[in-house]
């Protein structure tokens, strides 16, 4: 994971104008969408998942897998596309994943994924759009 600094900014008013209320709640408020609520969990075409906030490519479809959790899951991001922070909310310690360009909250990464990385990037679908090849 990358730890690049913020290179893209918007005012809160601009974020609220460009994002849906659900996207704003998740991406700017560090929320979580309901499991099974996003069609991207079922996306199987070849392509790239990009950040809704800044269009940065985040994950390639070849690294997506069905984790059975109800959220799109990947075992490796595009190099430099995500950064992480420690999330101590909800009485637990997790690794939060956010876009390295606009710092929007994407989801969390866990160490229970499949080989070869054994990582599971559990990503909110509303934080991404899909660009087919």
Q: Which residues are catalytic?
A: 122
How many residues does this entry show for the chain?
A: 133
Determine the straight-line distance between the first and last CA of the chain, rounded to whole angstroms: 24
Return the closest-CA partner of residue 107 out of 131, 88, 125, 129: 125
Tokens of 75: 């075992």
Asked if 36 contacts 70 with a C-beta cutoff of 8 angstroms, the reply is: yes
- Number of helices (H) and strands (E) in the chain: give both, helices first: 2, 9
């Amino acid at each position: 994971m990358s730890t690049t600094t913020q290179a893209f900014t918007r005012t809160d008013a601009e974020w609220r104008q460009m994002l849906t209320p659900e996207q704003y709640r998740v991406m700017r408020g560090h929320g979580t969408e309901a499991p099974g609520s996003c069609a991207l969990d079922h996306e199987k075409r070849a392509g790239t998942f990009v950040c809704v906030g800044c269009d940065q490519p985040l994950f390639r479809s070849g690294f997506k897998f069905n984790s059975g959790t109800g959220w799109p899951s990947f075992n490796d991001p595009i190099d430099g596309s995500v950064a992480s922070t420690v999330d101590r909310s909800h009485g637990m310690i997790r690794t939060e994943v956010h876009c390295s360009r606009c710092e929007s909250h994407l989801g969390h990464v866990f160490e229970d994924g499949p080989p070869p990385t054994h990582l599971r990037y559990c990503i909110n679908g509303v934080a991404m759009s899909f660009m087919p090849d």
